[in-house]
Amino acid sequence: MVKKIYFPDLYVEKNYLVLNRLNDISNLKVKNIRNEMVNLKNLNLSNGEIWNFLNGLKIRGRSGNSLEFKKETTPQIAQLLGFIITDGSLLSTEGKVKLCQIDINLILKYVGIINSEYKTNVTFGYDGKESNVMSVPLRYILHKYYGIPLGKKVFTVEIPKQITDSKDKNVLTAFIAGLFDGDGYVRYRYLKEGKILDCATFCISTSSHKLVKRAIDILQRLGIECSGRVRKDDNRMTLETAGFDNSFKFYQQIIPFIFHTKRKETAERVFTGVEFVSKFTLPLSRNLKDLFIEIGKGKFDKQLLELEVSNKYIKSLRSIESWTYPSKNGKVRSIYVHKACKLLNKNPKEYIPLNQLEFMEKVLK
């Protein structure tokens, strides 16, 4: 038996726009409605005009706090959508939005977004495992405007068109941060023979394959390459950053905006370690070749090696120059470039991109 979907009546503040609308449609029932608010049904708004009309107006249920609807999808609202899509749900028969998170501080962050962005003060209950935000108009907006399904939505949920159509990179970044707060994690491992980082990947896992595929498209627009992998045991699909360079981009662009404390701490611990920064590679330009030729001529090979942590690629004190001139990919590890510059009193800015330089100077000080 299909559970009946119930939407309580919504009311709109009675301002000049509403009064003009009532006059235009000659709605005589207006005299019988409460003085401050008008039933939304009485405005006879079509699907094509309702959201433009409501933009900036206060709406509420029969009781409780009102909120001010905004048509614009700000980065803060985008992050809220990402979190609700992955770790929340809209109840089918009540005016509630469920946040399925045990972390009360995380819940407070997203309740704060609701209150600040919609100029309201929602109430919520917390039972130690999850939270129910009580707001009839919020549930209505999330379902009707953003298209988030009601009830158990894991297989049917999609990314709202307000996100996929956005050209604002801040909106796209914030949305991915919300997804990661809900269903993200950091996967990393070290080699058995020592504390040497062998894998560092950001992942978002969910049952909705369409959601993962669209998220991969969004991250590609942000310059971050990812892939999707389907688990055989439960058919969940996992988004994974592709390689160390893309994991670093995710760390730089997305992680600063997430609220999940443990996931942020894990990312900081893994991605600011020397083991991770040593994985970066740079194109081996003529400029860099000259730098390492100077290292070889000056007999600085051993000093450069002694500055480095244990690395699975280095088996002996062989020439740094030969190790950094691989014939297949023409790359050199940027941590060595940074240290070579220090040994030769050269300015690293001449050899290393600014984003990598700032990162390395932070973790190598």
- For residues 175-179, give the mean pLDDT: 97
Same fold yes or no, 75-156 and 169-271 = yes
Q: Which of 8-12, 29-33, 193-197, 199-203 has the lowest mean pLDDT?
A: 29-33
pLDDT, residue 173, reads 98
Q: Look at residue 150 in the predicted model and tell me its pLDDT.
A: 86
User: Does the structure show a pLDDT above 60 at 36?
Assistant: yes
CATH of region 169-271: 3.10.28.10
Rounded (10°) angle between helices 354-363 and 334-343? 70
> What pLDDT does residue 154 have?
58
Identify the H or E element spanning 215. Answer: helix 209-221
Contact 139, 91 (CB under 8 A): yes
Q: Give the other-Cβ count within 10 Å of 135's Cβ.
A: 26
The structural domains of the chain, with segments of one domain joined by +, span: 11-68, 75-156, 169-271, 276-363
Instruction: Look at the alpha carbons of 131, 125, 177, 166 in this order and tell me if their dihedral is positive or negative.
Output: positive
Nearest to 140 by CA among 155, 150, 130: 150
Which candidate, 80, 53, 84, places its Cα nearest to that of 69? 53
- The residues with which 230 forms a beta bridge, in sequence order, are 237
Q: Would you list the DSSP string of 167-188?
A: --HHHHHHHHHHHHHHHEEEEE
Paired tokens of 183:
């269903």
This model's pTM is above 0.85 = no
In the block, residue with structure tokens 């007999």? 299
Indicate the CATH number for domain 75-156: 3.10.28.10
CA distance 227 to 241: 6
Alpha-carbon separation of residue 81 from 169, 237, 326 (angstroms): 16, 20, 46
* Listed residue (107, 72, 75) closest to 88, CA to CA: 107
Write out pLDDT tens, residues 225-275: 999 999 888 888 999 999 888 998 999 999 999 999 999 999 998 888 877
- Residue 244's pLDDT is 85
Token pair for 175: 């949305």
pLDDT tens-place string over residues 301-316: 767 766 554 444 444 4
Higher confidence at residue 312 or residue 224? 224
Q: pLDDT tens across 107-145, in order?
A: 999 999 999 999 999 989 998 888 999 999 999 999 999
